[in-house]
Amino acid sequence: MPEKNNNSTYNLFYQRIIGTKTLLGRKLLNYKQREIEYIISFIRSSGNSGLIMDMGCSTGQFTRVLASEFGESHVHGADISKKSIERCQKINPMMTFRHIGNGFYRENEGKYQHVL
């Protein structure tokens, strides 16, 4: 099955909308901050020795927060948008971001302790 090109759906405009929504949620409305704190607390309480996957990472903002807590080598991001992944890799060259394409789930089965 050929891979679908999602670039028209997930373009830079979409990424900026999501980024703004996340920023507003974290800084102004505080609900994202509480969500992030809860997730970090859960990961710590269940043991954070394994890899963490931020599935649908979009702009990578949440992925970066997790990486600041658990280390860049322990947190990976994935998205169906190749443009989003390219942008994340450009902004965060030391982190791992993967495109969700054909075979992604088979290749990564059992690899991550936490998938968000």
Domain containing 77: what range?
12-115
Residue 91 domain-assigned?
Answer: yes
Number of domains in the chain: 1
Any idea which residue has 């169906």 for tokens? 80
Per-residue pLDDT tens for 63-110? 999 999 999 999 999 999 999 999 999 999 999 999 999 999 999 999
Q: Residue 11 — pLDDT band, cuts 50, 70, 90?
A: low
Q: pTM for this structure?
A: 0.74
Residue 29 domain-assigned?
Answer: yes
Residue 1 domain-assigned?
Answer: no
Residue 58 domain-assigned?
Answer: yes
Residue 87 domain-assigned?
Answer: yes
The answer to whether residues 97 and 77 touch, using CB atoms and an 8 Å cutoff, is yes
Residue 7 domain-assigned?
Answer: no
pLDDT of residue 17: 73
Per-residue pLDDT tens for 25-75? 666 666 777 888 999 999 999 876 789 999 999 889 899 999 999 999 999
Q: Residue 2 — pLDDT band, cuts 50, 70, 90?
A: low
In terms of pLDDT, which residue wins out, 11 or 107? 107
pLDDT of residue 55: 96
Q: Which tokens go with 88? A: 């994340």
CA 82 – CA 78 distance, rounded (Å): 10
The residue among 46, 41, 34 whose CA lies nearest residue 69 is 41
CATH number of 78's domain: 3.40.50.150
pLDDT of residue 71: 94
Residue 3 domain-assigned?
Answer: no
Buried b (16+ CB within 10 A) or exposed e, 10-38: beeebbeebeeebeebbeeeeebeeebee
